[in-house]
């Protein structure tokens, strides 16, 4: 039977040959799902034939550029695990900037998450604001099914999920509106990695054209759903700060950058 070190060496070489950016990290994450304990102290330990076969299947899927999160069935975001499938975007570290900005403001009582996808944003905010309730919307029924699973785990009993094209089926006023809309330009789609292009929903990635159509739609109506003193937070592409902000004029707009110094979130206050 092979030991862990042998399995990892072979897997890393396969992933490197497949063009994976972090072959060692991905191999370790995938093997860890089959082995109890820390791999660091187990390199000479042998594994069963069953584990070796399961790991081989995982590596084959990764070689085909299936995202690690889809193989594992979850993605970590803000210290919590969220179910992900090909029906939703993977929650990304960039989006944690939106959470950081939200936590800087007043504590909301009602939160609206437009285009919720996996529900990671709303679930995280409800976990951080335990007195709040939330509404999650998405145009995709399949995405809402994923969001419901995550919200049930992280914020049981304090949310509702509504199938809606942006605000179309939304009612009421909210202290905080959050949204990570599709914003990738049509031209930039061609440069995305296979993990994204082939395994994540295009409708959640790009509106086509200049990538700003979602902001145009949101800017027209968001203020009708904000309570007095409410705030709206929108994730943006790193090069869209000025162009997206102009769409919300004459509202007060603040730009926040992610850990890499790139424009990432607009805070809008009418």
Q: Could you tell me if residue 76 is inside a domain?
A: no
Overall number of domains in the chain:
2
In this predicted structure, what is the pLDDT of residue 184? 96
90, 144: one domain: yes
16 is a domain residue = yes
What long-range pairs does 252-256 form, CB within 8 A, spacing at least 24?
A: 256/97, 256/100, 256/101
Q: In terms of domains, do 57 and 122 share one?
A: no
Pair 28, 89 in one domain: no
Tokens of 135: 């509404």
What residues are designated binding site? 115-119, 138, 166, 180-183
The predicted pLDDT at position 45 comes to 78
Residue 181 lies in a domain: yes
Residue 136 inside a domain? The answer is: yes
One domain for residues 142 and 200: yes
Domain identity same for 156 and 249: yes
Positions at the binding site for substrate: 180-183
pLDDT of residue 1: 76
Q: So what's the pLDDT on residue 20?
A: 97
Q: In angstroms, rounded to a whole number, what is the distance separating the alpha carbons of residues 196 and 198?
A: 6
211 and 181 within one domain: yes
In a domain, 20, yes or no: yes
129/242 same-domain check: yes
Residues 49 and 94 in one domain: no
Phi-psi region of 208 (alpha: psi -120 to 50; beta: other; left: phi over 0): left
Q: Residue 141: which CATH number?
A: 3.40.50.150
pLDDT of residue 145: 98
What are the φ/ψ torsions at residue 94 (nearest 5 degrees)? Answer: -55, -40
Q: How many CB atoms lie within 10 A of CB 241?
A: 19
Question: Is there a single domain that holds both residue 89 and residue 60?
Answer: no
- Sequence ranges of the binding site for S-adenosyl-L-methionine: 115-119, 138, 166, 180
User: Which residue range(s) make up the domain with 44?
Assistant: 4-64
Q: Are residues 192 and 233 in the same domain?
A: yes
Residue 19 lies in a domain: yes
3-state secondary structure string across the chain:
CCEHHHHHHHHHHHHHHCCCCCHHHHHHHHHHCCCCCCHHHCCCCECCHHHHHHHHHHHHHHHCCCCHHHHHCEEEECCEEEECCCCCCCCCHHHHHHHHHHHHCCCCCEEEEECCCCCHHHHHHHHHCCCCEEEEEECCHHHHHHHHHHHHHHCCCCEEEEECCCCCCCCCCEEEEEECCCCCCHHHHCCCCHHHHCCCCHHHCCCCCCCCHHHHHHHHHHHHHEEEEEEEEEECCCCCHHHHHHCCCCCEEEEEECCCCCEEEEEEEC
The reported pTM is: 0.94
> Rounded to whole angstroms, how far apart are CA atoms 267 and 245?
9
Would you say residue 80 lies in a domain?
no
Q: Which pair of tokens denotes residue 35?
A: 């082995």
Residue 110 half-sphere exposure toward CB, CA atoms < 13 A: 14
Residues 119 and 40 in one domain: no
CB count, 10 Å around CB of 89?
20
Among 85, 95, 94, which residue's Cα sits nearest to residue 123?
A: 95
Residue 73 lies in a domain: no
User: From first to last of its 270 residues, what are the pLDDT tens digits of the chain?
Assistant: 789 999 999 999 999 999 999 999 999 999 999 988 778 777 887 889 999 999 999 999 999 999 999 999 999 999 999 999 999 999 999 999 999 999 999 999 999 999 999 999 999 999 999 999 999 999 999 999 999 999 999 999 999 999 999 999 999 999 999 999 999 999 999 899 999 999 999 999 999 999 999 999 999 999 999 999 999 999 999 999 999 999 999 999 999 999 999 999 999 999
Query: Which residue in the block uniquely carries the two structure tokens 């049981």?
Result: 156
Query: In this structure, are 236 and 128 located in the same domain?
Result: yes
Q: How far apart are CA 12 and CA 76, in angstroms?
A: 22
What is the dihedral sign for C-alpha 63, 86, 89, 70? negative
């Amino acid at each position: 039977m092979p030991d862990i070190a042998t399995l990892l060496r072979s897997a890393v070489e396969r992933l490197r040959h497949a063009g994976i950016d972090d072959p060692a990290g991905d191999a370790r994450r995938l093997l860890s799902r089959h082995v109890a304990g820390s791999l660091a102290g187990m390199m000479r330990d042998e594994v069963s034939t069953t584990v070796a076969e399961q790991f081989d299947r995982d590596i084959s899927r990764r070689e085909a550029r299936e995202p690690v999160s889809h193989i594992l069935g979850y993605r970590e975001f803000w210290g919590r695990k969220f179910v992900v499938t090909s029906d939703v975007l993977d929650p990304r570290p960039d989006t944690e900037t939106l959470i950081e900005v939200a936590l800087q403001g007043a504590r909301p009582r009602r939160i609206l998450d437009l285009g919720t996808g996996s529900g990671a944003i709303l679930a995280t905010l409800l976990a951080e604001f335990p007195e709040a309730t939330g509404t999650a919307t998405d145009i995709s029924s399949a995405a809402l099914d994923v969001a419901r699973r995550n919200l049930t785990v992280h914020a049981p009993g304090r949310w509702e999920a509504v199938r809606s094209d942006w605000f179309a089926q939304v009612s009421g006023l909210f202290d905080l509106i959050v949204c990570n809309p599709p914003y990738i330009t049509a031209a930039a789609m061609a440069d995305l990695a296979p993990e994204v292009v082939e395994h994540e929903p295009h409708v959640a990635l790009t509106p086509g054209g200049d990538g700003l159509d979602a902001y145009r739609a949101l800017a027209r109506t968001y203020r009708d759903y904000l309570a007095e003193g409410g705030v709206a937070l929108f994730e943006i592409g790193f090069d869209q700060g000025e162009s997206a902000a102009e769409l919300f004029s004459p509202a007060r707009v603040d730009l926040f950058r992610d850990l890499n110094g790139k424009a990432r979130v607009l805070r809008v206050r009418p």
